[in-house]
Amino acid sequence: MERKDYERLRWRCIRRALLELDITLTRFLDDGFSSLDEVQQQAFVALADLEDYDLWDLITGKAEIDDPVMSEVVAMLRKSRVRLAE
Binding site for other proteins (CB under 8 A): 3-4, 7-8, 10-12, 14-20, 22-23, 26, 51-53, 56, 59-60, 62, 81, 84-86
Q: How far is the CB of 22 from other proteins (least distance, A)?
A: 4
Length of the chain measured in residues: 86
Q: How far is Cα 53 from Cα 55, in angstroms, rounded to an integer?
A: 5
The smaller minimum CB distance to other proteins, of residues 39 and 61, is found at 61
Q: Which of 15, 53, 47, 9 is nearest to 29 (CA)?
A: 9
66 or 86: CB nearest other proteins? 86
